[in-house]
Amino acid sequence: MLRFLFSTFFSTFFLLAHADGIVDCLGTELDWYKTKVGETPCTTYERLRQICNPSFETGIMHTNAPPDTCMDEFGDCCCNSVAFALSMFCLACQQGKGIDAGAGTYQLYLQGSRPSGHSCSPVVNRSLPTHIEDAVCDQGIKIIDDIYSRTFWATGAWIL
C-alpha cells in the first residue's frame, strides 16, 4: 500500500512538472478556463510574469493564501489585481478545487516579504499598465475579461 501511494505521488508530481514550471491542473475544476484561453491559468500567469522577469517559473503554489507574492525587481507584471487573480486561479488549478481566501490576501500578495505596510508599487487594479498590456497583446497572451473586472474585491479577499 505504501509503495502504491509513493509511486502515485511521484507519478502525479512528474506529470505536473514541466521544464517551464508547474503549469498543469490536477483536476477538472478549471477546464472551462483551459477551453476559453487555450492554456492553464498557471501558464498564463507564468507568461505574464515572464514579460518583466524572463526567468520566472510558476512553482508549486503555497496552499496558504496568497499562493505567490510580487517580489520582482520590476513589479509592473505582478503588482496588479490581474496577476493576483491569475495566481489564485493557478492555485485552484494545482489543487484541483476552488479556493477561498480571506480579506487582506491581495494586500499580502503585494507586500511579499517587505516590512508591514509596504508593497510593490505602483499598484494597478482591474487593469494592467499600458506597456504591459501592449506586451500581453504582442505575445498573444489571452486573459479573460472577467479577470479584469469580476475577480477583484476591494477587501483583498478571493472567492472561487
Q: Which has more confidence, 58 or 5? A: 58
Which whole number is the average pLDDT over 45-67?
94
Give pLDDT, residue 11.
Answer: 35
pTM of the model: 0.84
b or e along 14-29 (b: 16 or more beta carbons within 10 Å of the residue's beta carbon)? eebeeeebbbbbeeeb
Q: Is the pLDDT of residue 52 over 60?
A: yes
CA distances from 3 to 9, 11, 17, 21 (A): 10, 12, 21, 27
Give pLDDT, residue 77.
Answer: 97
Give pLDDT, residue 3.
Answer: 44
Which whole number is the average pLDDT over 112-129?
90
Give pLDDT, residue 15.
Answer: 35
